[in-house]
Amino acid sequence: MDLTIRPITHEELPRYHRAMEGAFGMQARDEELEHMRRTTVLDRALGAFDGTSLIGTAEVWPFRLTTPGAEIALAGVTGVGVLPTHRRRGVLTALMRRQLDDVRGLGEPMAGLFASEGSIYGRFGYGVAAYAGRLEVDRDRARFASEVEDPGRVVLVERDEALKTMPEVYERLRGHRVGFVDRSERVWLDNYFDPEWGFRQGGGALFFALHEAHGVDGYVSYRIKRDWSEGVPGATVLVEELMAENLSAYAALWRFCFGIDLTSRTTAWGRPVDEPLLLMVTEPRRLKFRVGDGLYLRMLDVPASLAGRRYATEGRLVFEVSDPFCPWVEGRYELTGGPDGADCAPTDAEADVRLSVVELSAAYLGGVGFRALHRAGRVDEDSPGALARADAMFATDPAPWCPFVF
C-alpha cells in the first residue's frame, strides 16, 4: 500500500463523499453529493490515498463547546471511515495521527466526536465526557404525575419558518448547558437535510412544532412512522430534537408528542441522562430509558483545556497525565481554580492524581467522577483526599449534554 494522507481538493469532493459513504456501507446519491459539497469544510477534510485511490476520510467541523462557566474551541471530528478493502492496515491510525497533529497546529485545545463504535477511539485518547439517553414509551402509559400550567400554545410550522426560529432558542440554551456546541447556518442545514432516502428510520418527512408563550421558548422536530397493522392505527412518533427554555414549554411539548392521534408510542434518542421527564411521569419504568455513550472528548492542550472552564469550589490539584498517542501532552500539570476562573501550567510538584488523557478528558465536563474512575481501576490517587477534592471542583449541574450528533 502506497499510503498518503492529505487535504482533499474541491475537484475530489465527489470521490471523497463516495468513499465516506462506502465506509459506512451506503451508496452516495447525486443529490446527497451536492448537499455535502455545500456543507463540507474543505480545508479540514482529509483523504487517505492508496496511490491515486481515495480509500479513507476524516473531517473536522470547528465548534465552540460550552464548558462550566465558559466556552472553548473544539475540533468536531466527523466523517471518519475506511473502505472495507483497506481495513486493519493502519489507515485509521494514520488519519488520526495527521488529524490530531493538524488540530494541535491550529491551536485548538480539544477534539470531540460521536463514535460509531465505542471501542475505536480510546486508543487515540478519546474518553466519554457526556452520556446520552434513549426512551420509548407507549402512549397509554405516558401519564404525568401532576399538571404543569402552560400559559402558551404549541403550533405546527413549515420547515423554513422552523429553521429561522429554532436556532434562536438553541442559542439561548447553549450558554447555560455544559456540553452544547454552537451550530452555524451550515450545520443547521446539514442537520435538517431530510431527503426521502435519508436517515428516516422508516418514518416520513419531518414535522416541526413550536411552543409560543410571549415568544417562542421551545420546539420539537419529529417524524411519524406509520403502522396500520390489521387496520388498527399504531404509528410511532420519532422525536428528533426537543428543546425548551422552561418547565411549561418542556411539559407542553412532551404532552404534544404523547397526544398525537393515530399513534401508539413515542421514541427519542440523544436525550440528557438527567431527563426531567423521568421525574414527571407516574411510571418512569415505562419510559424504557437507556443510557449509552454520547460525546467523546480528547485534550490536546491540558493547560488551555483546564483553564477553559470554571470550577464549583476553590482548589488546587496536580495531575500526572500519560498519553502514548500524543506524547507532547504527557506531563504534570498544576490546576488552581474556582468559580471565578482557573490557571493551569506544567509543574515539577508531586502528583495528586495519576491518569491517562482518556480519563482526564472524560472527567473534563463533570459528567464522569474521578472517584468513579478510581473505582473502575482507571485513576490513581497519590495524595489522600485528592479524588474527593477533584470531584468537588469539577462538579456540574445539570449533567453535561450534547444534543447535536456531528
Active site residues: 121, 406
Q: Whole-angstrom Cα distance, residue 255 to residue 278?
A: 14
Smallest CA-to-CA distance from 110 within 163, 73, 152, 56 is with 73
Which grid coordinates are listed for 242?
426537543
Q: Which residues contact 124 (CB under 8 A, 6 or more apart)?
A: 93, 96, 100, 298, 325
Please name which of 62, 96, 75, 92 lies closest in space to residue 361, comparing C-alpha atoms. 75
CA–CA separation, 82 and 58 (whole Å) = 9
